[in-house]
Amino acid sequence: MEVKKRYFRDPGISYFLFGPRGTGKSTWLKMRYTKDVLYIDLLSPELFRLYTARPERLNELIEGNPDKGIVIIDEIQKVPMLLDVVHQIIESNKDIRFILTGSSSRKLKRTGIDLLAGRAAYKTLHTFMASELGDDFNFEKALRFGLLPLVYDSENPTETLNAYIALYLNEEVKMEGLVRNIGDFSRFLEIISFSNGSVLNNTEIARECHVGRKAVESYISILEDILLAHKLPVFTKRAKRQLISHQKFYFFDAGVFRTLRPAGPLDSPHEIDGVALENIVMQHLMAWNAYHGNDNKLYFWRTKAGLEVDFVVYGPDTLTAIEVKNSRNIRSGDLKGLKAFKKDYSEAKCLFLYRGEEKLMKNGILCMPCNLFLQNLVPDEGIGES
């Protein structure tokens, strides 16, 4: 299988590399570090048992291999006690560099560990970006199955997505004891899939799930900690209008959303495609920002009067508002939210992404085919540049 390029770059110091399973963390590390490396895979039952019983064994391993300058510990959250040992080694041996991967930060937070108090950078690996795939990028395939490398490269993406979700439920949730009732949590996953791309209403979700509101809040927190979901806050800087206060919810990948979202004969494929399209844009913006340097933050904008912009990217060098529509034509009403945002923030760059084929400028708003936008989004350039 051909190994595709990734935009992620080694920061040159010890670092955490977080990302959901299947994003290619282990593959990238094994390709990047081939010499002078000690590799510890805590998914191995034997190594998990050894390091759980004696975390200080790490000292013995490093002392026994003085020629190895890099230590990679895969799935560090499996044995969080190891971080104390890593901390001691970094303090005493400046020549050793650690790379610590994880698909969940929940146990690290729960045990009160402070991610090495700034002694290691915090980095993330995301789903594929269209520009990483180049000519292999298939827009319709991405819309249907998402861009998780494990799935995108699979001969049977539907089967792989189903197995992927079952794996997370069993290993990351059930086996780690994150919830008391796995049945309640499974039902919650199905219910919250209807909130993907929408403003969260925890009370309504709790009613549908037949659990308490606090349970729903805990479940959403778990999804964030195991890196399966993101919440976007409302952009409120220099606000000139009354804005809503609730956050917006997205799964980390469109394929995962579509697999969790039950669909029947009364469901509109166009509507589900629209949510998936928005999800694809969101995950691209998340990846772009991570590889760009994490200088910016991602928001959405919605007034109490109902004016809305799907995404606002804000940081030292950008204020970009983006609206996404699953349509092949541009109607005047489609630009209403962007026009209002532009009126309040004249310095903002406004983009309208749609399924058409023409790149147009309307009322100071750049309208771009979504496919073109995704293929031209690269970390070294600004948003919407081509």
Q: Are 370 and 288 contained in the same domain?
A: yes
In a domain? residue 172: yes
79: domain CATH number? 3.40.50.300
Paired tokens of 30: 């094994």
Q: Are 80 and 203 contained in the same domain?
A: no
Tally of structural domains, the chain: 2
pLDDT by residue (tens digit) across 149-187?
999 999 999 999 999 999 887 777 877 677 888 889 999
Give residue 270's pLDDT. 87
In a domain? residue 2: no
**Single residue among 104, 124, 144 that ends a domain in this structure:** 124
Query: What average pLDDT does the structure give for the chain?
Result: 92
In a domain? residue 3: no
Q: Are 328 and 286 contained in the same domain?
A: yes
**Single residue among 83, 108, 124 that ends a domain in this structure:** 124
Q: Are 96 and 161 contained in the same domain?
A: no
Strand partners, 361: 366
pLDDT by residue (tens digit) across 352-383?
999 999 999 998 999 999 999 999 999 988 89
pLDDT by residue (tens digit) across 73-97?
999 999 989 998 998 999 888 789 9
**Single residue among 96, 124, 152 that ends a domain in this structure:** 124
In a domain? residue 106: yes
CA-nearest of 175, 63, 82, 167 to 120 is 82
Signed CA dihedral, 154, 165, 121, 63: sign only: negative
Do 219 and 185 form a contact (C-beta atoms < 8 A)?
yes
Q: Is residue 187 classed as helix, strand or coil in its secondary structure?
A: helix
Residue 50 phi/psi, 5-degree rounding, is -65, -45
- Output 291-298 pairs: Cβ under 8 A, ≥24 positions apart: 291/7, 291/8, 291/9, 291/379, 292/379, 292/380, 298/232
Domain of residue 102 covers 15-124
